[in-house]
Amino acid sequence: MLFSLDKGEGLREASSLQSAFHCLKTMEIKNSIGSTSELEFIAILLERAVNIKEVNINAKSSMRQSMDFTQFREKLFSLPQASSDLVMSFPDLKLGCQ
């Protein structure tokens, strides 16, 4: 088990998530629903994964066009990152020109 929330500790307090993740280079999340828990988990990894280069987040099909997921995306792009080389993408979303 990577971490346990049984004793009422949040993800940030879980002792197994206190160190840096030097070997993490890529991350893919499938069927994301844009939850607060997902956002917190990704935030922890982005803060501590000093060598991460790529994060791909695939939304659950029912969430792809929702306003909630759009807000989730915006929050993700505003998170602090340990890696200056990070590219975050949402390959299954049909995004217009920005």
For residues 26 and 46, give the distance between their C-alpha atoms in angstroms, rounded to a whole number. Answer: 11
Domains of the chain by residue range: 20-89
> Per-residue confidence at 9, pLDDT binned at 50, 70, 90?
low
pTM exceeds 0.85, yes or no: no
66-91 tens-digit pLDDT: 888 889 999 999 999 999 999 999 98
